Structures are given as C-alpha cells and as structure tokens.
C-alpha cells in the first residue's frame, strides 16, 4: 500500500515537474492531466479502502458466527462453569483485539512518518533519509577533521614542551594557543552551521505539515465534489420529475386539442356566420360605391355649370369690348387678375377631373373584387355543404361506434365486476385454504421438532469440536504472535537503551508490549489448561447426552401413555385440533424433560464433586474398613427387612405394570388409528392442493358455491362451538389426568430406580456374603480380598444409607399416592360415565361431518362444472377482445379518414391547417415521448438502483474517510510529538553551541587581556576536549537513531508489502 502511494505521488510530482515549464512557456495550457491523475489516484484509493472494508466485514461476520456458536453452547449447556469459561475467553479475545488495534495504530503511525518523509516540498520530492545520511557523512568528516586538528595540536604542544622548556620567550606558545583556539572557534562555527542545517530540517518538517494540511483541504474539496455530485443527482431527479410533469402537461394539451378540434367545428359554423356578415359588408360597399357615383355626378354637374359661366363671361366680354373701350385700359389689370383666377380654376377643374377618373377606376376595381368574392362565396358555400354532409355521415358513424363501444364497455364492466367478485371469493377461499395449509404446515413443523432436537445435539457436538479446532488455531496464532513479539521486544530493548532522553513515549509502548507478552504467555497457558478442561467437559457432555437420550426414550414412553389417554377423548375432534393439542402437550413435556435434564446435569455435577471428595477420602476409609466389617452383619439384618418391604412394593408395582400393559395396548391401537388418520390427512392435503390449483384457474361464476360454502361454514361453526365446549371440559379432565399421570410416572420412575438400586445392593450383598464365606474358608487370601472388599463395602454402605433415605421418602410418597390414587379412580369412573355420553354426542357430530363432507364433494363436482363454464367464458372473452381489436382497427382507419378531412379543411383556412398539422405533429411527438418516457422510466429505475448503490458507497466512503481522518489526526499528533522532541533536541544543541561560543569568546578576550598560564590553558583544552567528546557522542547517537529509523522504515515497507 505504502509503496503504491509513494509510486503514485512520485508520478504526480514528475507530471507536475513536466507541466511547470510548459506553464512558463504557455500560460493557457490546461491542467487536465493532473486532475485526471488525481481522480485515478482517488479511485484507486477508494478501491483499496473498499477491499479493506470488505475484509473487515468478513472478519466481523466470522466473529458474529463465533458469537452465535458460543451462545448456542451457552443455551445448550445449562451449567454456570461453561458460561464463566466462555466469558473469560470472550474477555481474552476482546483484549487481543484491542492489542491488535493498538499495533495497527502504531503501524499506521509509522506509515504516516514514511509518508511525511516522502512528501513534496516546493514541487519537488525530497528523500529525507538520503539528506540525513549526507549530512551525517558531512558531520563525520568534520569530526575527522577535528580529531586530526586535535592530534596536530597535541603534537605541537609536546614539541613545545620538549624543545622550548628552556627558552625564555613566551611568544611562540601563545601564538600556537591562539591558533588552536581559532581552529576550535572555526569548528564551533561549523557546528553552528550544522545547527542551522538542523533548523532548516525543522523548517522542512513545518513545510511538510503545511503540505499535509493542503492534502487535507484537497480531501475536503473531494468531499465537497461528492456532495455536489449528490446535489446534481438530486437536480437530475427533479428534472426527471419536471419532465414527467411536462409529459402530464402534454397529455392535458392533447385533451385540450381534442376539445379544440370540437371547437373547430363550431368555428366553421362561426365562419359561415362571418361569410353572411361579409355578404352584408359587400352590400354596404355597393351602397357606398353608389353614393360615390352620386358625388361624381354632382361634380360633373358643377363642371358643366362652370363651363356655362365661362361661355357667358366670353359673350359678356365681347359685348363690353364693343360698348366699353374706354374701360379696357382701366380694367386690364382686373382682366389679368381674372385670367389668373380662371387659370387657377382650370387647374382645380383638371384636378377634380383626375380625381373623378381615379374614383371611376376604383369603382370598377371594387366591382371586379365584389364579383370575385361572390364567386368564392358560392364555391365555399358549396364546399361547406358537401363537407357538412360528410361530417354528418362521420358523426353518425362515430355515434354508432361510440354506442357499440359503450355496449362493449358495459359488457366488460359487468364481466370485470363478476371477475372481481369471483376473485374476491376465490381469494377468500384461497385464504381459508391457505390458513388451513399453514396450520397443517405448522403442525408438521412442530412434529418435526423432535428429530431436529437430535440434529441440534449432533450439531452442538460438531460445534464443540469446531470450537476446539478454532482454539487450537488461535493458540498457534498466539504462539506465532509471541515469537514475533519476542523478536520485536529485542529490537525495542536495544532502542530503549539508546534513546532514554529522546523517546520516552516509545518506552511506554515497550513496557505495554512487555506486559502484553506476559499476558499472552498467561493466555497460552490458560488456553492449554482450558483445552484440557474442555476435553473433560466434552466427555461429561457426551455422558450427559447418553443419559439424556435414555431420559428422552423414557419420556417418549410417558408421552405415548399420555397420548393414549388423551386420544380416547379426542378421537372425535378434527385432525387439526387434535394435532395442535398433541404438539402443545409435546412441547410442554419437552420443557419438563429439559428441566429434568438440567436437574440431572446438576446432579451429575454434584456426583462428580462427590466422586472427587470420595477419592480424597479413600485413604481415610481404608482405616475404617475393619469397623465397617462388623457393621455388615447389622446391614444384612436390615437388608432382610428391606427385602420384605421391597416385595410389598413390587406387588403394587406389578399391578401398576399390568395397568401399563393394558394402556400400552390401547396406545398401539391408537397409533394404528393415528396412522390411518395421517393417511387421510395426506389425502386431504393432496385434494386441497388440487382444489387450490382448480381455484387458481377459476375466474367467474362461483357465487352459488360460495353461498353453499357459507351455509356449510355456518354449520361447521355451530359444530366447532359444540366441539370446543366439549373440548374445554375434556381439557380440564385431561389436565387432571395428566397431573395424576405425572405423579404416577414420577412414582414409577423413583420406584424403578429404587428397585434397581435395591437389586444392585442385594447382588452386592450376596457377593459380599459369598466373599466373606470365602474369606472365612480361605484365611490365606484374606489380605488380598480385604482390599477389594473395603472398596465395595464403602460403596455398599453409602448406597445402603442412600437407599434407606430413599425408601423412607418412597414409603411416605406411596402412602400419599395411594390415597390420591383411590380418590382419582373414583373421579375417573364418574368422568368415564360423562365421557361416554360425550362420545355419543360426538358420534352424532361425526354423522353430521360426514354429511358436510358429502356436500363438499358435491360442491367440488359443481366447481368442476364451473371450471368448464369459466373456460367457455374465457373463450367468449377472447372472441370479444378480437372483436374489440377489429373495432379498434376500424376506428384507426376512420381516424386516418378524419385526418384526411382535417387536411382538406386546412386548405380553407391557414389557421385550421396549422392546428391540424400541430395535432399530427403532437401525436408523433407524444408517441416518441411515450417511448422516451418508457426509456426514462427504465433509466430512472436504473438510476435509482445506481443512486442507492452510490449512496451505500458514499456512506462506506464517508465511514472510511472518517476512519482515515481519525488515523491522520493520530498521525499528526505523533508527528507533532516528534517535532516537539526534535525541537527540544535542537534547542539543547543550540544552547550547548551558544555556551561553547561564549566560552571560546571569553577565552579569547582573556588571552588578549591577560596572558594565561599554561595550566589554565591545559584545563581549557581538556574542557574543550570533553565538550568535543560530548558532541561526538551526540553525533553518534544521532547516527544510530538515524540507522534505527531506517531499519524501522524498511520493516514497515516489508510489512506493508506482505499486507498488500
């Protein structure tokens, strides 16, 4: 996993490096490659997370299976010791799971450190391991230089001491000392540089934390993108709903357009009215044209009058010229003015003449247009008449077809109503039959409980064996873990010795791991002990199971006796009620048997404890054997007395055995009757299955049968009420009988046990008497026989004491039981007389039931007749459907004819044609949209499934991301701890280097101010040498820690490779 992450990050960094120069050269290049790779990486990580979640789910399912097995073991074994052991094992397993979780967290922390070390800084991948190695090499070189300078300094000092001891001039050693101090100061400067490098490392770590925060932001952005996708899906759902709504709107539009088509016929009628109005308008136009003609004639008359006036003026002018010449000069101006006025009048006349000509031309055009309109009106009227006739014929055909469709719909409605009624009745019958089938199935299941219990016992044994195998596997895994932990412990101990000051947290982890190792060792020892204990318990459980089987056989015998006595009363019941009561009684008896088994297991545990006590007390009993030999004679006398009492008890037991034999005979007879009834039940079940198959085929005309069945059901209800009353009385009596039978059975069981114990005791007593006679005859073999007899006598004495106690209790119980028995016999005789009366009643009921069965058979014959009728009705329905299809085809042809008529009508008006074209277009669009709707509905179903899957995946991703975020938070906390420790160490190194620099400066100043003697200089040299050794030790510690970190990283990579 970690290597894959590193590889993917390196590829992303390479891609980013390759993209950066492109961005510098061309700023408009998209970053699609980075986003696609990030998406791929995210998808890959999601796939890996899903695989991890699947493994976790498998582990959880395995844990649940183990928990269920442990619970079954708890339920099967009633002892408290097993529960305690299982609880301890569960606690140990929980502790191991917590420890494994802690180890996983540590591994995750180490993975986080590796990821932090392989993070990017300023777009470049940095391997801090290599940097640290390089800087460690530089430090080693500096240390080598320091050691070389120190050696040279010591040699120079020795030479000065040897040669210049007699010289008087102190200048040369002071200069040498100054040079050495300067060299040491240079070394301190180099150390400061190293400290600066360490500070740079701290800065790089801070940058790494920033990059981690950046990656977190990217993860949050991915979450936001996922939320956006979810929102988009919701928006798509809304769009789909809107599309559905639009389709509904289109359907409403189609309905509207169908209404509009009906309105178009009304519009045609309105068009006819408008044509009438147009004809009236044409008449009005004719009238207006006539008025204009009158106006033109008036204007012509005016022109004529003006012409007459001009002619008169000319005549007057000629007369005046001849008579009045003198006035010409005076009136020339007036004449010119008159000429101008005449010219203006002429122009007016001309304009009026042009206007009259234009009016005449307009009148001609209007006349032509009126003629054309009249022609078109006549044509349209003829066409409208023909279309009206055609529409009337189509309407008549539509009315006829609608009437036929109405009749067919009415027939279909009646048939559907009949089918619905028949279906309801069939559903009622099927529900009643289903209830009966369920009751029979429940009874069969309840009868199958007894073999399932034995199967469960075997499964429990197998589960115990499997649990032992799983425990062995767990021990092997624990041993492997202990070996691995020992190896890790060795490594961690080395790490402890070297890092006492730097890694206190790791010490805590090591201590916890050591404790865990001790606990694991204890667990391994406990598991080995518990395996032995479980083996012993398995043996005990097997013995208990064998005893349980014996008890179950005895209980089955008791159950048979109880069934015999109850079936004498319950023969007249229906098979269903009888089976129910039998099963309920068996369940109660099984509960009692389970209680007895629990008591027996408890007794067995007590016996085991007593056996252990007996083993411890054998040594003390051997000493008392001689005293008990004297008591044997007394016990023989008591034996004789007990035998007499036992003979009396046997007489009473033999009488009870005779009664039991008679009851067993009755039981055998009843079992034979039960087998016959079971065969009858099977035949009835087969008939019920056949009837259910017939009822499934029936779909009509079952009213008569339902009425008859209802009458039969009422009779059955009356009969069932009477039977219930009798059953309640019988149940009371049966409870009393069961109580007596329980007491008798317990007494018989105790008596049988006591008889067996007494017989064993007698046999043992006879054996002991024979052995005593042999001992008296054979005195030589006394010592060997005494040892055997001691044990037998001890057991015999204990058994005799127990027998005495049991006989006393049994004598008391016998007295009590005899009194109860006589009282119950009297009550039983009375109840038997009442039962005989009830049996007579039940025989009458049986006759009635036989009559009802005969009626039911008649009903079945009638049902078969009805089936034939139903088949005929189905064929009739099929023929009717065929006729309906033919009618639909004829209607489709008529629709095509209507479309042709609509097209013809569209020629009359553009609006009508456009509407019809839109109607046909909408039809085609509707068909396409219906197809699209079907496709969309399928897509919706697929999308809903996808959305569910996506929601589940998103939930899983959210959980995984939450777990990853939690792990990252833990890793960040550990990184912060590591950074704090590194900061502390760097601060300490900086403080030491600063102190050293201050000391060196003080020495330099003191040497300049004072000439220090050689002893002080030697002390300072030794001091500096010690400081240098300390720095060397620190550097060695840093190198060793770096090696340890490298080894840890290699181990983490190996473990990650193994896990992957």
Per-chain mean pLDDT for the chain: 63
CB-based contact 786:625 (threshold 8 Å): yes
User: Is residue 376 situated within a structural domain?
Assistant: no
Task: Tell me the DSSP string of 486-526.
Answer: HHHHHHHHHHHHH-TTT-HHHHHHHHHHHHHHHHHHHHHHH
How confident is residue 290, by pLDDT bands cut at 50, 70 and 90?
A: confident
Residue with tokens 């993209």: 19
Q: How far apart are alpha carbons 249 and 925 in whole angstroms? A: 13
The pLDDT, as a whole number, for residue 20 is 38
Among 625, 660, 862, 856, CA closest to 749: 660
pLDDT tens, 419-429?
677 666 666 66
Give kind and range of the element (H or E) at residue 124: strand 124-125
Among 230, 325, 399, 306, CA closest to 952: 230
CB-based contact 646:758 (threshold 8 Å): yes
Average of per-residue pLDDT across 276-302: 70
Regarding predicted confidence, which is higher, 932 or 88? 932
Q: How far apart are alpha carbons 176 and 159 in whole angstroms? A: 11
Give kind and range of the element (H or E) at residue 574: none
Task: Tell me the DSSP string of 386-400.
Answer: HHHHHHHHHHHHHHH
How confident is residue 1032, by pLDDT bands cut at 50, 70 and 90?
A: confident
Q: How far apart are alpha carbons 589 and 595 in whole angstroms? A: 10
| 210-216, long-range: CB < 8 A, 24+ apart | 211/119, 211/120, 211/121, 212/116, 212/119, 212/968, 212/972, 216/965, 216/968
Q: How far apart are alpha carbons 100 and 94 in whole angstroms? A: 10
Q: How far apart are alpha carbons 997 and 991 in whole angstroms? A: 10
CB atoms within 10 A of CB 562: 22
Average of per-residue pLDDT across 696-723: 58
The pLDDT, as a whole number, for residue 124 is 43
CB-based contact 388:669 (threshold 8 Å): no
Q: Is the pLDDT of residue 576 over 60?
A: no
The pLDDT, as a whole number, for residue 103 is 59
Helix (H, G, I), strand (E, B) or coil at 67: helix
Give kind and range of the element (H or E) at residue 359: helix 326-447
Give kind and range of the element (H or E) at residue 927: helix 910-1009
Q: How far apart are alpha carbons 566 and 741 in whole angstroms? A: 11
Residue with tokens 């048939």: 415
Distance of alpha carbon 107 from the chain centroid: 30
Same domain as 129, residue 70: no
CB-based contact 78:601 (threshold 8 Å): yes
Residue that finishes a domain, picked among 53, 76, 99: 76
Same domain as 1016, residue 946: yes
Dig out the tokens for 862 from the structure.
Answer: 């009638």
Same domain as 145, residue 67: no
Average of per-residue pLDDT across 71-90: 55
Dig out the tokens for 1031 from the structure.
Answer: 């720095």
Same domain as 140, residue 11: no
User: Is residue 42 situated within a structural domain?
Assistant: yes
CB-based contact 685:434 (threshold 8 Å): no
How confident is residue 780, by pLDDT bands cut at 50, 70 and 90?
A: low
Regarding predicted confidence, which is higher, 274 or 470? 274
Average of per-residue pLDDT across 361-373: 66
How confident is residue 32, by pLDDT bands cut at 50, 70 and 90?
A: very low
Same domain as 129, residue 71: no
Q: Is the pLDDT of residue 321 over 70?
A: no
Sign of CA dihedral 328, 332, 334, 338: positive
User: Is residue 257 situated within a structural domain?
Assistant: yes
Residue with tokens 């050689």: 1014
Dig out the tokens for 732 from the structure.
Answer: 């009371």
Rg (CA), the chain: 60
Average of per-residue pLDDT across 580-595: 63
Region of residue 83 (phi > 0: left; psi between -120 and 50: alpha; otherwise: beta): alpha
What DSSP character marks residue 125? Answer: E
Among 407, 470, 804, CA closest to 634: 804
Q: Is the pLDDT of residue 472 over 70?
A: no
Q: How far apart are alpha carbons 1052 and 1044 in whole angstroms? A: 12
pLDDT tens, 830-881?
666 666 676 676 666 666 666 666 766 776 676 667 667 667 766 776 776 6
pLDDT tens, 157-202?
656 555 444 443 444 444 444 555 556 556 666 666 666 666 676 6
Three-state SS string across 779-843, please? CCCHHHHHHHHHHHHHHHHHHHHHHHHHHHHHHHHHHHHHHHHHHHHHHHHHHHHHHHHHHHHHH
Give kind and range of the element (H or E) at residue 121: strand 120-121
The pLDDT, as a whole number, for residue 875 is 75
User: Is residue 190 situated within a structural domain?
Assistant: yes
Residue with tokens 């101010």: 1009
Same domain as 942, residue 1055: yes
How confident is residue 19, by pLDDT bands cut at 50, 70 and 90?
A: very low
In the chain, the number of structural domains is: 2
Same domain as 61, residue 135: no
Regarding predicted confidence, which is higher, 959 or 320? 959
pLDDT tens, 101-129?
665 666 566 556 555 555 444 444 445 55
> What is the crossing angle of helices 703-777 and 625-697, to 10°?
160
Mark out the alpha helices in 624-702 (DSSP H runs).
625-697
pLDDT tens, 259-268?
766 666 676 6
Give kind and range of the element (H or E) at residue 5: helix 2-25
Q: Give 1011's Cβ-side CA count (13 Å radius).
A: 8
Share of the chain above pLDDT 70, in %: 15
User: Is residue 855 situated within a structural domain?
Assistant: no
Dig out the tokens for 285 from the structure.
Answer: 């136009």
Q: Is the pLDDT of residue 566 over 70?
A: no
Among 1036, 1021, 856, 886, CA closest to 151: 1021
* CA angle centred on 354, ends 350 and 356, rounded to 5°: 115
The pLDDT, as a whole number, for residue 171 is 42
How confident is residue 18, by pLDDT bands cut at 50, 70 and 90?
A: very low
Same domain as 132, residue 72: no
Task: Tell me the DSSP string of 160-210.
Answer: HHHHTTS----HHHHHHHHHHHHHHHHHHHHHHHHHHHHHHHHHHHHHHHH
Q: How far apart are alpha carbons 162 and 175 in whole angstroms? A: 17
Domain carrying residue 23:
1-76
CB-based contact 41:12 (threshold 8 Å): yes
pLDDT tens, 429-466?
666 666 666 766 666 665 565 566 556 656 665 665 66
CB atoms within 10 A of CB 494: 12
Same domain as 68, residue 134: no
CB atoms within 10 A of CB 1003: 21
Q: Is the pLDDT of residue 5 over 50?
A: no
Helix (H, G, I), strand (E, B) or coil at 26: coil
Among 855, 656, 864, CA closest to 745: 656
The pLDDT, as a whole number, for residue 994 is 74
Residue with tokens 């000065």: 160
CB-based contact 919:902 (threshold 8 Å): yes
Buried b (16+ CB within 10 A) or exposed e, 946-960: ebeebeeebebbeeb
Q: How far apart are alpha carbons 72 and 68 in whole angstroms? A: 6
Residue that finishes a domain, picked among 76, 103, 133: 76
Same domain as 244, residue 138: yes
Dig out the tokens for 887 from the structure.
Answer: 């009618």
How confident is residue 626, by pLDDT bands cut at 50, 70 and 90?
A: low
User: Is residue 1041 situated within a structural domain?
Assistant: yes
Q: How far apart are alpha carbons 593 and 269 in whole angstroms? A: 97
User: Is residue 613 situated within a structural domain?
Assistant: no
Dig out the tokens for 35 from the structure.
Answer: 């986003």
CB-based contact 576:681 (threshold 8 Å): no
Q: How far apart are alpha carbons 2 and 121 in whole angstroms? A: 19
The pLDDT, as a whole number, for residue 25 is 36
Regarding predicted confidence, which is higher, 961 or 704? 961
User: Is residue 1053 situated within a structural domain?
Assistant: yes
Region of residue 701 (phi > 0: left; psi between -120 and 50: alpha; otherwise: beta): left
The pLDDT, as a whole number, for residue 121 is 40
Which of the residue ranges 402-406, 433-437, 495-499 would you say has the lowest mean pLDDT?
Answer: 495-499
Region of residue 96 (phi > 0: left; psi between -120 and 50: alpha; otherwise: beta): alpha
pTM of the predicted protein model: 0.17
The pLDDT, as a whole number, for residue 680 is 63
Same domain as 245, residue 183: yes
The pLDDT, as a whole number, for residue 30 is 40
Helix (H, G, I), strand (E, B) or coil at 16: helix
Same domain as 128, residue 33: no
Q: Is the pLDDT of residue 1040 over 70?
A: yes
């Amino acid at each position: 996993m970690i290597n894959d992450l590193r590889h993917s990050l390196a590829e992303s960094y390479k891609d980013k490096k390759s993209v950066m120069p492109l961005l510098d050269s061309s700023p408009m290049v998209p970053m699609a490659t980075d986003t696609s790779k990030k998406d791929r990486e995210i998808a890959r990580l999601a796939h890996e997370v899903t695989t991890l979640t699947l493994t976790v789910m498998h582990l959880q399912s395995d844990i649940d299976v183990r928990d269920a097995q442990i619970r079954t073991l708890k339920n099967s074994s009633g002892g408290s010791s097993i529960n305690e052991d299982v609880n301890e094992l569960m606690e140990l397993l929980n502790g191991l799971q917590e420890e494994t979780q802690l180890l996983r967290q540590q591994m995750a922390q180490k993975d986080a450190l590796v990821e932090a070390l392989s993070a990017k800084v300023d777009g470049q991948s940095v391997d801090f391991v290599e940097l640290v190695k390089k800087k460690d090499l530089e430090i080693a070189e500096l240390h080598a230089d320091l050691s070389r300078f120190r050696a040279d300094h010591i040699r120079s000092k020795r030479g000065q001491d040897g040669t210049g001891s007699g010289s008087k001039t102190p200048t040369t050693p002071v200069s040498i000392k100054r040079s050495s101090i300067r060299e040491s100061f240079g070394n301190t400067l180099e150390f400061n540089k190293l400290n600066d490098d360490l500070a740079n490392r701290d800065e790089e770590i801070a940058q790494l934390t920033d990059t981690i925060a950046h990656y977190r932001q990217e993860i949050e952005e991915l979450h936001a993108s996922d939320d956006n996708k979810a929102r988009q899906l919701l928006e798509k759902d809304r769009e789909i709903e809107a599309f559905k709504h639009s389709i509904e709107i289109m359907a409403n539009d189609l309905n509207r357009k169908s209404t509009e088509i009906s309105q178009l016929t009304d519009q045609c009628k309105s068009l006819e009215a408008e044509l009438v109005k147009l004809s009236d308008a044409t008449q009005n136009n004719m009238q207006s044209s006539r008025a204009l003609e009158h106006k033109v004639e008036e204007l012509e008359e005016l022109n004529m009058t003006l012409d007459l006036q001009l002619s008169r003026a000319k005549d007057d002018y000629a007369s005046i010229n001849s008579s009045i010449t003198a006035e010409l000069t005076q009136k020339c101006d007036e004449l010119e003015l008159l000429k101008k006025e005449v010219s203006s009048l002429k122009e007016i006349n001309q304009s009026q003449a042009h206007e009259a000509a234009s009016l005449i031309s307009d009148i001609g055009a209007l006349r032509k247009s009126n003629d054309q309109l009249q022609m078109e009106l006549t044509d349209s009227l003829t066409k409208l008449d023909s279309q009206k006739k055609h529409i009337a014929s189509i309407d008549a055909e539509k009315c006829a077809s609608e009437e036929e469709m109405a009749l067919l719909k009415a027939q279909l409605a009646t048939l559907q109503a009949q089918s619905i009624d028949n279906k309801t009745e069939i559903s009622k019958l099927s529900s009643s039959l289903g209830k009966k089938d369920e009751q029979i199935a429940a009874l069969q299941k309840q009868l199958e409980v007894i073999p399932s219990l034995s199967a469960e016992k075997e499964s429990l044994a197998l589960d115990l064996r499997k649990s032992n195998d799983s425990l062995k596997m767990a021990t092997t895994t624990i041993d492997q873990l202990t070996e691995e932990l020992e190896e890790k412990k060795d490594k961690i101990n080395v790490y402890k010795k070297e890092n006492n000051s730097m890694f206190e947290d790791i010490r805590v982890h090591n201590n916890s791991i050591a404790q865990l190792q001790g606990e694991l060792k204890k667990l391994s020892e406990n598991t080995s002990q518990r395996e032995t204990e479980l083996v012993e318990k398995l043996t005990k459980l097997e013995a208990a199971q064998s005893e349980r089987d014996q008890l179950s056989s005895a209980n089955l015998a008791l159950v048979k006796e109880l069934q015999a006595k109850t079936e004498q009363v319950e023969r007249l019941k229906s098979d269903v009620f009888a089976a129910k009561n039998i099963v309920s009684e068996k369940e109660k008896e099984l509960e009692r048997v389970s209680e007895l088994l629990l008591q027996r297991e408890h007794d067995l545990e007590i016996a085991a404890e007593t056996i252990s006590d007996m083993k411890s007390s054998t040594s003390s009993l051997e000493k008392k054997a001689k005293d008990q030999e004297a008591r044997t004679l007394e016990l023989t006398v008591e034996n004789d007395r007990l035998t007499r009492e036992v003979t009396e008890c046997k007489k009473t037991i033999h009488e009870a055995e005779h009664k039991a034999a008679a009851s067993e005979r009755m039981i055998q007879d009843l079992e034979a009757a039960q087998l016959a009834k079971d065969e009858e039940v099977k035949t009835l079940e087969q008939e019920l299955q056949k009837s259910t198959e017939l009822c499934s085929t029936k779909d009509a005309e079952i009213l008569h049968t339902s009425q008859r069945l209802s009458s039969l059901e009422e009779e059955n209800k009356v009969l069932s009420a009477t039977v219930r009353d009798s059953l309640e009385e019988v149940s009371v009596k049966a409870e009393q009988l069961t109580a007596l039978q329980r007491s008798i059975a317990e007494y018989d069981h105790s008596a049988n046990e006591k008889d067996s114990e007494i017989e064993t005791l007698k046999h043992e007593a006879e054996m002991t008497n024979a052995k005593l006679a042999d001992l008296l005859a054979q005195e030589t073999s006394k010592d060997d026989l005494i040892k055997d007899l001691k044990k037998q006598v001890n057991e015999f004495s204990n058994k005799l004491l127990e027998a005495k106690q049991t006989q006393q209790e049994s004598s008391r119980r016998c007295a009590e039981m005899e009194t109860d028995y006589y009282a119950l016999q009297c009550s039983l005789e009375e109840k038997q007389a009442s039962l005989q009366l009830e049996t007579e009643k039940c025989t009458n009921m049986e006759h009635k039931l036989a009559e009802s069965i005969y009626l039911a058979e008649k009903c079945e014959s009638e049902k078969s007749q009805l089936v034939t009728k139903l088949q005929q009705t189905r064929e009739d329905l099929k023929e009717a459907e065929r006729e309906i299809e033919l009618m639909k085809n004829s209607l489709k042809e008529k629709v095509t004819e209507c479309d042709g008529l609509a097209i013809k009508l569209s020629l009359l008006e553009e609006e009508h044609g456009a509407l019809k074209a839109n109607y046909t277009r909408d039809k085609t669009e509707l068909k396409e949209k219906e197809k699209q709707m079907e496709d969309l509905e399928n897509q919706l179903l697929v999308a809903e499934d996808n959305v569910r899957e996506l929601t589940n995946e998103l939930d899983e991703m959210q959980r995984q991301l939450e777990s990853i975020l939690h792990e990252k938070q833990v890793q960040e906390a550990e990184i912060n701890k590591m950074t704090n420790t590194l900061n502390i160490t760097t601060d300490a190194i900086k403080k030491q280097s600063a102190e050293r620099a201050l000391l060196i400066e003080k020495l330099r100043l003191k040497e300049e101010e004072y000439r220090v003697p050689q002893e002080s200089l030697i002390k300072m040299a030794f001091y500096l040498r010690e400081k240098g050794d300390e720095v060397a030790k620190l550097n060695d510690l840093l190198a060793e820690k770096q090696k340890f970190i490298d080894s840890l990283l290699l181990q983490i990579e190996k473990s990650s490779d193994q896990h992957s």
